[in-house]
Structure 1
Amino acid sequence: MAGLEEALRDRVRGEVRFDAGSRGAYSTDGSNYRQVPIGVVVPHDVEAGAEAVAVCARFGAPVLSRGAATSLAGQCTNAAVVIDWTKYCDRLVSLDTERRTCVVEPGIVLDELNRRLSAHGLKFGPKPSTHSHCSLGGMIGNNSCGASAQAYGKTVDNVRRLEVVTYDGTRCWTGPTPAGEFERIVAAGGRRAELYRGLRDIVDRRLGEIRLRYPDIPRRVSGYNLDSLLPEKGFDLARALVGSEGTLVTVLRAELDLVPVPPYEAMIVLGYPDICAAADDVPRLLEHGNPELLEAIDGRMAQLMRQEDSHLDSLEQFPEGESWLLVQFSGDSREAADSQVRALLDALGKSGDDPDVAFSDDPRREQKMLRAREAGLGVTARPPDGRETWEGWEDSAVPPDRLGDYLRDLRALFSEFGYDAASLYGHFGQGCVHTRIPFELKTADGVAAFRAFLQRAADLVTSYGGSLSGEHGDGQARGELLTRMFGESLVTAFGEVKGLFDPDNRMNPGKVVAPHRTDENLRLGPLWRPRVDRTEFGYPEDDHSFTRAVMRCVGIGNCRSHEGGVMCPSYRATGEEEHSTRGRSRLLFEMLGGHADSAVTDGWRSTEVKDALDLCLSCKGCKSDCPVGVDMATYKAEFLSHHYARRPRPAAHYSMGWLPLWARLSRAAPRLVNAALGAPGVARAGRFLAGVAGERAAPAFAEESFLQWWAARGPSEPDPADPRTVVLWPDTFSTYFHPAIAKAAVRVLEDAGFRVTVPARAVCCGLTWISTGQLATAKKVLRRTLDVLRPWIEAGTPVVGLEPSCTAVFRGDAPELMPHDQDVRRLSAQFRTFAELLLDSAPDGWRPPRLARSAVVQTHCHQHAVTKNDADRELMRRAGIDADVLDEGCCGLAGDFGFTRGHYELSMTVGERGVLPAVRGAAPSAMVLADGFSCRTQIEQGATGRRAMHLAEALALALDGPLPADHPEKSTARPAVVRRDARLLTAAVITVAAAASGTAYALLRRRIRA
């Protein structure tokens, strides 16, 4: 091990990692299986990747090539040296638009490739549901398909040539091999000639069996593609290697065939009484048209979407029915596409006005419909009924004309084994069925039933002339079952091919050929014994179990996407698996233990887990964007609580973690505090001692806080029972830093007819303590707040929040932190965003003031994830604001994250990936709106030349009439001291107190706790 690691570091240009954290993050993929790797290599280029294989060969170490690792059959987990191609080896090497071909490196993501090709009107045809993050190397390894395979075939049908290297170092381009070229290769001698001769011999001895035993169906992905080596197929070695799952060669580059992007598309959705009836109708649909895709969704999947409040906008587009087929056509004109739909409807004897038909030629509406289908895995993985579902038989395929009967028999098999809760959906136009099954994988009896079911299901699908896998490959999940599909002779041939390319079984061993049993290496299994500790959060949606919460991650990998949504900003900035939501989930799983070979052995004290979580921005983007609702911000807070229990914490936890207290103390002398924060020497020393990034400047404290302004305004104690009464939540940021926002909110709310009141005693949501994992203190803060708010809670008075992160605490974190507290539940139901209150509760007849202005709007991450921004969009529409709501992800500041020392560079990298350039590119006449304090601060400190406003400020200004073009929201003339970060005030307080006297500091802490 030591020699291997040293040799890799010496000879490979790239990142070589044998640490426990990296090994834990790569210990599993999207499957049921888990194997801890030897180490991880992230090559800087394909030459370095080839060199890594050579070094491993010298030491006899197994090798696993890995892309996005969304594999569902266990191909991407192994006790091997993992080569991750996705961080650096992602070039579009060349493009030939005339021949419609391109050459790519294995790490390029499909959506990114198609973005680069879009200017030329071309794309790579196959499109799996993981298109936002799957790599071309992974697609080649798995022979991926997706919905568009109906029109463009599988990956194998779109690969022209492959540049490969074998374990022993033979490197060449492969592709179709005409007789003359075959003879030249053989005549040249050497290892390449040996491979070609050996393959020809293996195929020649089994010509008849290959022609007879390979199912003649659109979706056969199982087994090696020996049929591509038939004489009539041109002895195409590249296509024979597609789908070999890294067990034969390492792919370095690929030449791909491209297809034109269809200019126009049209779709119909047809409703059916059940999924079997829908499947019965597939042959008729195929007879009367040549669709680009033909997908299916069953009623169980729709039910889960409704229960999980997911993709409801997609379901709204569907017609009547309990199951649906989505049929899409393309054409060179809108009329050409629409006419195909009309012709199909005529053939079916239907009309676009029928209740069981929905027609669309609007691309945006079609994408909504398709998103429901693409959401299948995520929606069915964690159903609300608590039964965990798993892959294992998730992509079988049969001839489309036999699909209905196969589904009936499969359902009967489900019933026999007690798996009735399984949903059925998939690529019905090609007979491919997706499902997740509630296997019991934690008990010996459950695992035995799992294995027995797979054997019975394999016999069933082969009896229909089908394939074990129609999309995801064999790996470990189906490798053991291949003899049931192909027979002993062809499986022996697979072994001969493996022996020819990899005689020592070092290339992804245990997959496809000589596979591990289907019930070995399970991520769970009957011997899994995770640790169970008392936790601070209640995890009410996960049976009150942190373990079950961590197990939400099933490896879908949406957190590895490169644009759109919020998740996962740290991965987008670093390209590191360890800094994706999935990678962190894997490390937390390893931390729980339960396996003898767990990569992480020191539990909550683990430095590997701490380091991985350190770059989590706690943006909560995963809570909404992850298909299974992983909430890494909560898991991070839980971890920090245990990690630092009875131990000193980082200085930033005492400075920014206790910000609400320091903000209150600033009232004694705000000018003096601001002067100290602005003084170069004092501020620099303070930032260092407080654990704050030296590059950050502190926003100034307001000379008059909102609460001081409110008190000076005179008494205002409206009756809590008065339906017009509303409590304005005085969050730390709107109170002590930007009180103009709270004042503006008062003005707008009163204009709308509300009677505004503000708590007279200090209240706080505990956000800063939660985000730094000081959860016991956060609970004390929340209980004190509940005491202050009790009269309004009992009266059901709405409480309106202005800062999205504080509002999100009461809507999300507080109920999870104190799940049994009824007042927390009541307050959560009463807490409203500013826009929600004005839209839902304003007296009849009130209309927001008209602005008639355009605006660039940055949605706060917690707003995106927890409270949503639908109400804000509608309020802006009614106010005449032409809102360009950015879809550029997190701003990068994310509460205390961007202020903490060591985070500044990543914080700015995240901001520069979208938000900051978008604001700089905004029209000078456009307002910049951002309700979040972090977002406004990052925009202001990010060299954009713009100031961002809160929506309340914009509406309050509109009460005075139209805004002039040179209104100061565009100005950058805010005093320099204001651009300093207020969270760093602790540098002037806690440091001095601690240094002056241990006794004084102890007294201060006791006073704080009191």
Structure 2
Amino acid sequence: MELDVAGLEKALRERVRGEVRFDAGSRAAYSTDGSNYRQVPIGVVVPRDVDAGAEAIAVCARFGAPVLSRGGGTSLAGQCANTAVVIDWTKYCNRLVSLDAQRRTCVVEPGIVLDELNTQLSAHGLKFGPKPSTHSHCALGGMIGNNSCGASAQAYGKTVDNVRRLEIVTYDGTRCWVGPTSDEEYQEVVAAGGRRAELYQGLRDIIDRHADDVRLGYPDIPRRVSGYNLDSLLPEKGFDVARALVGSEGTLVTVVRAELHLVPVPAHEAMVVLGYSDICAAADDVPRLLEHGAPELLEAIDGRMAQLMRQEHSHLASLDEFPEGGSWLLVQFSGDSQESADAQVRELLDALGKSEDDSDVSMSDDPRREQRMLRAREAGLGVTARPPDGRETWEGWEDSSVPPDRLGDYLRDLRALFCEFGYDAASLYGHFGQGCVHTRIPFELKRADGVAAFRSFLFRAADLVVSYGGSLSGEHGDGQARGELLTRMFGERLVSAFNEMKRLFDPDDRMNPGKVVAPYRADENLRLGPLWRPRGEQTAFAYPDDDHSFTRAVMRCVGVGNCRSHEGGVMCPSYRATGEEEHSTRGRSRLLFEMLGGHADPAVTDGWRSTEVKDALDLCLACKGCKSDCPVGVDMATYKAEFLSHHYAGRPRPAAHYSMGWLPLWARLSRLAPRLTNAALGAPGVARLGKLLAGMAGEREAPVLAGESFVQWWIARGTPEPDPADPRTVVLWPDTFSTYFHPAIAKAAVRVLEDAGFRVAVPIQAVCCGLTWISTGQLTTAKKVLRRTLDVLRPWIEAGTPVVGLEPSCTAVFRSDAVELMPHDQDVQRLAAQFRTFAELLLDDTPEGWQPPRLARSAVVQKHCHQHAVTKYDADRELLRRAGLDADVLDEGCCGLAGNFGFERGHHALSMTIGEQGVLPAVRNAPDETLVLADGFSCRTQIEHGGTGRRAMHLAEALALGLDGPPPAGHPERAINRPAPAAGDARLFTAGVIAAAGAAAVVGCALLGRCRRER
């Protein structure tokens, strides 16, 4: 019977407290997980509470609609993609319901993120033991569904070993708590009758008939995740129904609450990294290491993974901590004291006949250093996904597991199999202390012969791992990738028992159908596949790291989901504020991928004109946090600019694109007659009208334009222009923000640069990086602006003169965007190499002996997102240190203003929410005598608008203050020396300028009936 989708949607909206979404954008965002598979869902439900989630299942059951419960959506075997109603628990159902610290238990809802849970537990000295590498964004419901493990499983076991009870909902509406069941409790359940009794009796019958098969057929290894946990139903395991359901991947029940076992947070830890000639030799040594201690973790990294990190300039600080070797084992011990933890490491080294002074040994009892080491291991999936050699790597056989004492031989045979299929570029790493091997393999999934080879390899690899007494999956589960292979591991009788369990709980196969039991073939529902035919598109950006292909750029996203983290780094501010998959970097990548088409069932059908994609990108702040924080380097800011360029080609744009997008032009025009304009615009209501016409948020104050611009001041100063060939010459870039809004910054920079021995040149002709045109997707205009700028700068470019930028976003354009926008222009390439940040110039190019002025103060520093993502902040940290500033460089994410984003109508609330998640409270809490530093115009403006009572200063201003001696404690305001506008209300003047811009755009479009076509 055909599903009544319209009726289902209507009923869900009427009966479910939550958000019900059947639109194309939402369906596209949930069309895949972290796997090779793609299935467009029927719709998405985001329940407000667990009862609403249970009600959603009841509605689906009435209509016969399949259901898929989803947490963080990072699954690598396809278990979180299905043609079903997806229930996303993470936005609202994410509470720590209760905690019993004495019993070391807690009850949680399924959407709570592991790191969030452990943060709440930390005050009690407790944590949930298993810790996958996705710990910053994986949800406990997903961990339970997948039986997740992670490195810490060496000490604490898998998720199944840490679950006490589960509250479950079946497709037919049965809701109850389940757990270990004594004979007396079993009899009580049976006596009570009903569906719960039927389930318990059915489970007892299955295990009674298959007990011997289970005992013989389940490999006795630490990392068996494949198949259902029938072994938990054995009498000697306490007939534990909860643990039997862990790892069932949403195919049997939905978990709405879970009672978990907790462990103490280790008081002290110590780590040793051991170097080996290759990964097989490292694996050979694992049994010997396990004989001489009980490590908290025992992880492995091979030389191929280290090579990729170096090529990608990723995690280099981590690699610097490693000893000599071609592969490494990381072994960590914990103890009640540091001496106890250290002693365990030394005892291990003694047993191995090694010393901590050996070249192939690196020992640490510094937690921060150990975290750096472990970050290299956690980066495995991202680092290996898009290697620089261009060979795409994929999941499919990424987490097989064998007995640890047979690991070395298994790896040799697996490598031989790789070579036979031409997959020899694969890296090998993982949880070697438990025999679990991670890898990503360069399968060819776009051609029929490649897909056939992929399928053949999976069956050969399955036979290989079974021959070693291992498991198809040691961590990531079966899903679609390995469901078809289960008979090779368990045999027909046990797989038949899995089918019986499925029929008992879900007789109509409506719970995540086609996964684990009665599975799709491993080569069905591929995200790519031989029939995939995406549209080829001409693009404005070159995408040099993606074979000059926008399609390949979009395909960078492999679903790792780091963009769904809640703290640290910059990515992804809109997700952190909304909790919406569609507003994560991953969700937007999914929509862009669907926009490219190529499938028989596209979720997005109108290409570049798609309103769904536009709406998803509308809340992208273009902060570029993903460019650095995404492990595969997704650059959503560039993709957004590309999309906007095509989306608005040949038709009118939003008013903000003409007002704020053309801000450099309006700022220059403000110099013509500021006093007269201010007087003319002094009537009440003009500011409100100006914001309305300009597409600007009414809640925002227009930024203050200075009465005298920096360039006007520079011309009046009369400084002779230095010779471009003079090695002391440096060009100070007069960006729009430092020139027209905060000229005191540029003046301060001149003072510091001249004190450092430089001869400063300033272009007095109109120049611009084109940032505002780029961010609004007006790329043809941006190129014209850049070409004019290159003409002005040509003498300095030809002389190799350093150009120093003060505004991070403008500097980032020349270092990144301009190069990709004009890849064949040699002047752009040269300028990118010559463009320095203020800190880089003062550290690397100053005459010998110069030292920055000493400030001897504390400072709170907000990095601009583009500093974090593109220009980096290492030079700034060092300059702050040399200047005697005790700097607390915040790791609080984006400020929320992000150029024009926070000024645009409709964005103000989200902008302030983002600010309140990090930087604004941090600034409010800073002592009065602490300086507040922020090099970015957006950051300074947000701090001022955010009710902090503080005004932030630029690094150049702080150093210039040091030339006069530090300001007295308690008076940081002296640091700000920005003169008021020459006449009138400068904010009103700015509003008038943008009103004129908005009005010009509206009138022009009305008169012409068209908009100039972007070409």
TM-score, structure 1 as length reference: 0.98
**8 Å contact 1:697–1:981 — kept in the other structure?**
no
The reply on whether 1:60 has 2:67 as its aligned counterpart is no
912, 916, 920: which one pairs with 1:916? 920
- Alpha-carbon shift at residue 822 of structure 1 (Å): 1.1
- Alpha-carbon shift at residue 927 of structure 1 (Å): 0.4
One-letter amino acid matched to 1:41: V
605, 613, 620: which one pairs with 2:617? 613
DSSP 3-state at the match of 1:119: helix
Give the structure 1 partner of residue 812 of structure 2. Answer: 808
The reply on whether 1:309 has 2:309 as its aligned counterpart is no
466, 471, 475: which one pairs with 1:467? 471
**8 Å contact 1:419–1:439 — kept in the other structure?**
yes
431, 451, 470: which one pairs with 2:455? 451
5+ residue gaps in structure 2?
none
Structure 1 CA distance for aligned equivalents of residues 853 and 934 of structure 2: 19
CA shift in 2, pair 1:444/1:466, >3 Å: same
CA shift in 2, pair 1:382/1:184, >3 Å: same
Which aligned pairs between 1:969-988 and structure 2 lie closer than 5 A? 969=974, 980=987, 984=991, 986-988=993-995
The reply on whether 1:727 has 2:731 as its aligned counterpart is yes
Give the structure 2 partner of residue 127 of structure 1. Answer: 131
The reply on whether 1:703 has 2:707 as its aligned counterpart is yes
Answer with 188-197 or 970-979: which moved more: 970-979
The reply on whether 1:874 has 2:878 as its aligned counterpart is yes
393, 399, 404: which one pairs with 1:400? 404
- Alpha-carbon shift at residue 989 of structure 1 (Å): 2.1
100, 114, 118: which one pairs with 2:118? 114
Structure 2 CA distance for aligned equivalents of residues 1001 and 829 of structure 1: 43
CA shift in 2, pair 1:995/1:338, >3 Å: closer
Give the structure 2 partner of residue 792 of structure 1. Answer: 796
Which aligned pairs between 1:144-223 and structure 2 lie closer than 5 A? 144-223=148-227
981, 997, 1000: which one pairs with 1:990? 997
- Alpha-carbon shift at residue 670 of structure 1 (Å): 2.6
Structure 2 CA distance for aligned equivalents of residues 45 and 623 of structure 1: 34
Task: Provide, for residues 961-987 of structure 1, a one-character-per-residue CA deviation record: whole Å limited to 9, x for no partner.
Answer: 121222425789997998949875543
Structure 2 CA distance for aligned equivalents of residues 802 and 603 of structure 1: 38
The reply on whether 1:597 has 2:604 as its aligned counterpart is no
The reply on whether 1:504 has 2:508 as its aligned counterpart is yes
Task: Provide, for residues 225-267 of structure 1, a one-character-per-residue CA deviation record: whole Å limited to 9, x for no partner.
Answer: 0000001001000000000000000101000000000010000
Structure 2 CA distance for aligned equivalents of residues 95 and 267 of structure 1: 31
Structure 1 CA distance for aligned equivalents of residues 890 and 804 of structure 2: 24
CA shift in 2, pair 1:969/1:70, >3 Å: farther
**8 Å contact 2:164–2:242 — kept in the other structure?**
yes
DSSP 3-state at the match of 1:668: coil
76, 80, 91: which one pairs with 2:80? 76
Structure 2 CA distance for aligned equivalents of residues 567 and 996 of structure 1: 39
Give the structure 2 partner of residue 942 of structure 1. Answer: 946
Give the structure 2 partner of residue 736 of structure 1. Answer: 740
326, 334, 337: which one pairs with 2:338? 334
**8 Å contact 1:655–1:983 — kept in the other structure?**
no
DSSP 3-state at the match of 1:529: coil
**8 Å contact 1:946–1:970 — kept in the other structure?**
no
One-letter amino acid matched to 2:645: S
- Alpha-carbon shift at residue 699 of structure 1 (Å): 1.6
846, 851, 857: which one pairs with 1:853? 857
**8 Å contact 1:692–1:984 — kept in the other structure?**
no
Give the structure 2 partner of residue 242 of structure 1. Answer: 246
531, 536, 543: which one pairs with 1:527? 531
Give the structure 1 partner of residue 544 of structure 2. Answer: 540
Which aligned pairs between 1:254-293 and structure 2 lie closer than 5 A? 254-293=258-297
Which aligned pairs between 1:580-729 and structure 2 lie closer than 5 A? 580-673=584-677, 680-729=684-733
- In the alignment of these two chains, the number of paired residues is 1007
- Alpha-carbon shift at residue 671 of structure 1 (Å): 3.8
DSSP 3-state at the match of 2:910: helix
DSSP 3-state at the match of 1:667: coil
The reply on whether 1:300 has 2:304 as its aligned counterpart is yes
**8 Å contact 2:658–2:998 — kept in the other structure?**
no
- Alpha-carbon shift at residue 188 of structure 1 (Å): 1.5
Structure 2 CA distance for aligned equivalents of residues 776 and 220 of structure 1: 56
**8 Å contact 1:737–1:982 — kept in the other structure?**
no
Structure 1 CA distance for aligned equivalents of residues 157 and 643 of structure 2: 46
Structure 2 CA distance for aligned equivalents of residues 984 and 724 of structure 1: 41
Structure 2 CA distance for aligned equivalents of residues 672 and 461 of structure 1: 82
CA shift in 2, pair 1:584/1:680, >3 Å: farther
One-letter amino acid matched to 2:14: D
Structure 2 CA distance for aligned equivalents of residues 893 and 593 of structure 1: 33
Q: Percent identity?
A: 84
Task: Provide, for residues 331-373 of structure 1, a one-character-per-residue CA deviation record: whole Å limited to 9, x for no partner.
Answer: 0000010000010000000000000000000000000000000
Task: Provide, for residues 890-915 of structure 1, a one-character-per-residue CA deviation record: whole Å limited to 9, x for no partner.
Answer: 00000000000000000000000010
Task: Provide, for residues 194-232 of structure 1, a one-character-per-residue CA deviation record: whole Å limited to 9, x for no partner.
Answer: 111111111111111100110000000000000000010
CA shift in 2, pair 1:26/1:979, >3 Å: farther
One-letter amino acid matched to 1:657: G
Answer with 698-707 or 573-582: which moved more: 698-707
5+ residue gaps in structure 1?
none
The reply on whether 1:765 has 2:769 as its aligned counterpart is yes
One-letter amino acid matched to 1:198: G
Structure 2 CA distance for aligned equivalents of residues 493 and 662 of structure 1: 73
Structure 2 CA distance for aligned equivalents of residues 781 and 496 of structure 1: 68
**8 Å contact 1:286–1:429 — kept in the other structure?**
yes
Structure 2 CA distance for aligned equivalents of residues 995 and 514 of structure 1: 59
The reply on whether 1:23 has 2:27 as its aligned counterpart is yes
- Alpha-carbon shift at residue 819 of structure 1 (Å): 1.1
DSSP 3-state at the match of 1:205: helix
One-letter amino acid matched to 1:989: A
Task: Provide, for residues 105-130 of structure 1, a one-character-per-residue CA deviation record: whole Å limited to 9, x for no partner.
Answer: 00000000000000000000000000
The reply on whether 1:837 has 2:844 as its aligned counterpart is no
One-letter amino acid matched to 2:859: A
- Alpha-carbon shift at residue 829 of structure 1 (Å): 0.5
Structure 1 CA distance for aligned equivalents of residues 558 and 317 of structure 2: 25
**8 Å contact 2:682–2:988 — kept in the other structure?**
no
Give the structure 2 partner of residue 377 of structure 1. Answer: 381
**8 Å contact 2:670–2:993 — kept in the other structure?**
no
Structure 2 CA distance for aligned equivalents of residues 269 and 355 of structure 1: 11
Structure 1 CA distance for aligned equivalents of residues 761 and 639 of structure 2: 35
Answer with 641-650 or 785-794: which moved more: 785-794
Answer with 789-798 or 315-324: which moved more: 789-798
Over the residues paired in the alignment, what is the CA RMSD in angstroms?
A: 1.8
One-letter amino acid matched to 1:172: C
- Alpha-carbon shift at residue 957 of structure 1 (Å): 1.1
928, 946, 968: which one pairs with 2:973? 968
Structure 2 CA distance for aligned equivalents of residues 433 and 969 of structure 1: 59
**8 Å contact 1:701–1:737 — kept in the other structure?**
yes
One-letter amino acid matched to 1:360: S
- Alpha-carbon shift at residue 988 of structure 1 (Å): 3.4
CA shift in 2, pair 1:586/1:895, >3 Å: same
DSSP 3-state at the match of 1:534: coil
One-letter amino acid matched to 1:960: D
Task: Provide, for residues 57-79 of structure 1, a one-character-per-residue CA deviation record: whole Å limited to 9, x for no partner.
Answer: 00000000000000000000000
CA shift in 2, pair 1:980/1:117, >3 Å: farther
Structure 2 CA distance for aligned equivalents of residues 678 and 233 of structure 1: 81
The reply on whether 1:494 has 2:501 as its aligned counterpart is no
**8 Å contact 2:444–2:450 — kept in the other structure?**
yes
